[in-house]
Amino acid sequence: MAFIALVLLSLLTPLVSVYSFDDVKSWCSQTPNPQPCDYFLSQKTDQSLIKQKSDFLNLSMQLALERAIIAHGNTLSLGSKCRNEREKAAWNDCLELYEHTILKLNKTLDPNTRCTQVDAQTWLSTALTNLQTCQDGFIELGVSDYLLPSMSNNVSKLISNTLSINKVPYAEPSYKGGYPTWVKPGDRKLLQSSSLASQANIVVSKDGSGDYTTIGAAITAASKRSGSGRYVIYVKAGTYSENVQIGSGLKNIMLLGDGIGKTIVTGSKSVGGGSTTFKSATVAVVGDGFIARGMTFRNTAGASNHQAVALRSGSDLSVYYQCSFEGYQDTLYTYSERQFYRECDIYGTVDFIFGNAAVVFQNCNIYARNPPNKINTVTAQGRTDPNQNTGISIHDCKVTAASDLKPVQSSVKTYLGRPWKEYSRTVFLKTYLDSLINSAGWLEWSGDFALNTLYYGEYMNTGPGSSTSGRVKWAGYHVITSSTEAAKFTAGNFISGNSWLPSTNVPFTSGL
């Protein structure tokens, strides 16, 4: 994908502007970052004025794309300056993340893409998350970020501006009825079949009785398929020790296993082992419309190796049904886009459900394990901009102690979450919270960082750990008493589930 910058740059339409400097300044003054907006737009010339907000939005997105392409080129040229393997690992992430950012911005601007305001806000949110992840890689590996100024080109600020201009309210449906465009009529029949395994496109089996013996080989085969309809890969029971990548070009892939604890894919990459968090995932999914069912995703690096991801999902409109995610720190990376988890098990210690997707968990079991430092944090949500439509919603789930924590539960403090980023947003709705939850409920990240800007909420939770009488007194913490407020975070509203979840044949509750 290294050539993507040149290709997309050649496709860009000219930026519109014979409007005056004062006109530009006036429009840019309405954004969170007027200076780069004013600086770059005022340099452009063309034949028409910015007549309305939609013109300004389109220009702002084009500008962000143009600067992202330039930044990608700068990033590519810096590879030879990496002085060690850790710097190279962080640089590699940035190169990939800029490519993904360009794809998201291009998709948002593409006139042939069916794109609502919510779609655009989702994809712009992901574009911004990608650039934050690029920076985070250098920080977590403890290496110099001297490369970053050349990479950034104010792209993050320009994308933040587009998020502000395009800002949309809750509950706007992502698709206007029916099934999303990537679901074909034949797919619906397949997904509603009682015997998916018998209709799989490819079978993976450790004993050689299938088409392939590794999941990776099946993914490679799937990349050569014709069409973009649902493609089912049935993975028979067994333990598959491999790291799996499902790239952006692989849409509508389904991994179908034989059940939790039966079909297991496992890896051991970690930050302690020299990887970035982003690249530590045993399974990483980017292609949209991904479904996993009856699978266990595992990272065995252990608690001492710090961040070690079992699954990273950046797949828009993705579903995980009756799956298990097993690790310690950073087990489940709900990285970006719109995601839904139903009847899943998630195990971990520190920040073990984290990321910056718009994600809803329903009827899931969340198991805190025994941590080395005697502190667990269930969530660490990564929203960096107040206009990103992202957050973690945990609805009708159970938060309890895993078997290794139960004997020592009284000596461990377990919290519902801590604010990884400034606008961290997480809610627990009608969820059973066992006695392991500390009475304060939530933990600081660093001093008073984000305590006024985060949004943490609890609504009608039950269990011995659900009392809110001793909860933190932060400005951003809310005991939600209004069903209208709580409903903003349901599957029907937060991820527009009514318009796309029925096509997956996965059960879901639309409202509270």
Q: Is residue 213 domain-shared with residue 352, that is, in the same domain?
A: yes
Report how far residue 277's alpha carbon sits from residue 306's, in angstroms, rounded to the nearest whole number: 9
Q: Which residues lie across from 320 on neighbouring strands?
A: 292, 341
Report how far residue 169's alpha carbon sits from residue 148's, in angstroms, rounded to the nearest whole number: 34
- Confidence category of residue 144, pLDDT binned at 50, 70, 90: low
Instruction: Show Cβ contacts of residue 67 under 8 Å, excluding neighbours closer than 6 positions.
Output: 40, 153, 154, 155, 158
Is 323 inside a domain boundary? yes
Asked if residues 135 and 93 have their Cβ atoms less than 8 Å apart, the reply is no
Report how far residue 267's alpha carbon sits from residue 420's, in angstroms, rounded to the nearest whole number: 25
- Confidence category of residue 490, pLDDT binned at 50, 70, 90: very high
Q: Is residue 394 domain-shared with residue 268, that is, in the same domain?
A: yes
Q: Domain containing 429: what range? A: 201-504
User: What was the pLDDT predicted at 81?
Assistant: 80
User: What was the pLDDT predicted at 171?
Assistant: 38
**CATH code of the domain covering residue 151:** 1.20.140.40
Q: Which of 119, 187, 351, 385 is catalytic?
A: 351
Q: Is residue 162 domain-shared with residue 207, that is, in the same domain?
A: no
* Tens digits of residue pLDDT in 19-30: 444 578 889 999
Q: Is residue 228 domain-shared with residue 144, that is, in the same domain?
A: no
User: What was the pLDDT predicted at 142?
Assistant: 78
**Burial environment of residue 77 by CB neighbours within 10 A (0 to 12, 13 to 18, 19 or more):** exposed
Asked if residues 8 and 65 have their Cβ atoms less than 8 Å apart, the reply is yes
* Tens digits of residue pLDDT in 380-417: 999 999 999 999 999 999 999 999 999 999 999 999 99
Q: How many domains does the chain have?
A: 2
Average pLDDT, the chain: 89
Catalytic residue at 396?
Answer: no
Is 430 inside a domain boundary? yes
Asked if residues 212 and 218 have their Cβ atoms less than 8 Å apart, the reply is yes
When pLDDT is averaged across residues 341-365 and rounded to a whole number, the result is 98
In this structure, the chain runs to a length of 512
Rg of the chain on CA atoms, in Å: 22
Choose from 14-28, 75-89, 203-217 the range with maximum mean pLDDT.
203-217
> Residue 126 pLDDT > 80, yes or no?
yes
